[in-house]
Structure 1
């Protein structure tokens, strides 16, 4: 549980209140990660603008797949659950469960597997990356702009997910995510000893 004291919906004022209202309108509630990151509301609004710019350029499907891969590599249950819910609007649940468990065996096109592999490497060993990694994406058919967007999407997820983990933000389980999908989304990367999976808190 985070030690941060965050304003409630009734206590929020100014930009923070606007951010809260936007989440209530779109989701029906204010997630704990919004409350934590809205302690600096100006930064949070810029974050939302950044992710919108990246996702609109890369395309929603690719953006969400990269996000899911990066969040799993980081061990971010917050972002896996939140973006798993979002991805249900563009990918059916059965395939999303397969993607969440082992995306290499989920029937994805090779280029999508390649970009997810890239996101995992960026999130686990970015210092070891070189031109060969970008070349693999180019060989998979991605343009230089798309390679930049994939990189930005994965790097942006590292920023947000790692901030939530560092602040020990309470984990929200979105409504409308089945027990089976929750389990798949919380599955750790193979070989990480279970470190990526975090059980949902009672809060």
Structure 2
């Protein structure tokens, strides 16, 4: 359950329209849209911002950068969502699990690995990035404009992932239904999927 109320479509025309559009796209109303039900205009602007960034990147590059950022943010929701895109793009369960955990057998070339390392560092501590870090990307053939794209894709993920996690949005149960248990375990690096059993732990 979210930590705040999630309004129904009666909240207003904009909220109702957002919910209808989401249900048409996903086949159900994702929890992330419910969270934004209070401010549907923010979700609309978020989509426009993402489109402006994605428009300059290949789908694979954008998804790998986002996966690296989501992993650093411990965002189960974004890991599951963007991992699912990579599955549709041809990754096997094993390949995706290796990619999600920075495994040696991930189907990535060195340029992609460097890109994901950089994206993670943007999220972890952008002030620690040096000219040498950027130089490593340039050595892999990335242009200045492409480095901007990588950086902005990683940075904006902080807004969305942190908003969902701070307000208690659980990853949709649909991910558990559609993905193998092993893959859900690999991708759910933070909050558990909706409806998952949670073992209570004693507070010290």
Q: Normalising by the residue count of structure 1, what TM-score does the alignment of the two structures yield?
A: 0.87
Distance 1:118 1:104, change over 3 A: farther
Aligned partner of 1:183 among 159, 182, 185 = 185
Q: Distance in 2 between matches of 1:104 and 1:162?
A: 29
Aligned to 1:29: 28
Render the CA deviation track for 1:66-121: whole Å, top value 9, x for unaligned.
Answer: 11110010111111111111221213223212212224531311010011001111
What secondary structure does 2:4 align onto? coil
Aligned to 2:201: none
Aligned to 1:156: 156
The structure number with the bigger radius of gyration is: 2
Listed as ranges, the gaps of 5+ residues in structure 2 are 197-204
What secondary structure does 1:57 align onto? coil
Listed as ranges, the gaps of 5+ residues in structure 1 are 187-195
Higher relative contact order (CA 8 A, sep 6+): 1
- 1:77-116 matched pairs, under 5 angstroms: 77-93=76-92, 94-116=94-116
Q: Distance in 2 between matches of 1:104 and 1:137?
A: 20
8 Å CA contact 1:85, 1:176 repeated in 2:
no
8 Å CA contact 2:73, 2:158 repeated in 1:
yes
Distance 1:138 1:167, change over 3 A: same
Matched, 1:138 2:131: no
Q: Distance in 1 between matches of 2:11 and 2:63?
A: 30
Aligned to 1:46: 45
- 1:66-85 matched pairs, under 5 angstroms: 66-85=65-84
What secondary structure does 2:164 align onto? helix
Render the CA deviation track for 1:36-89: whole Å, top value 9, x for unaligned.
Answer: 123211111010111112112111111101111100101111111111112212
Number of matched residues? 193
Distance 1:158 1:201, change over 3 A: same
Aligned to 2:193: 200
What value does the CA root-mean-square deviation take over the aligned residues?
1.7
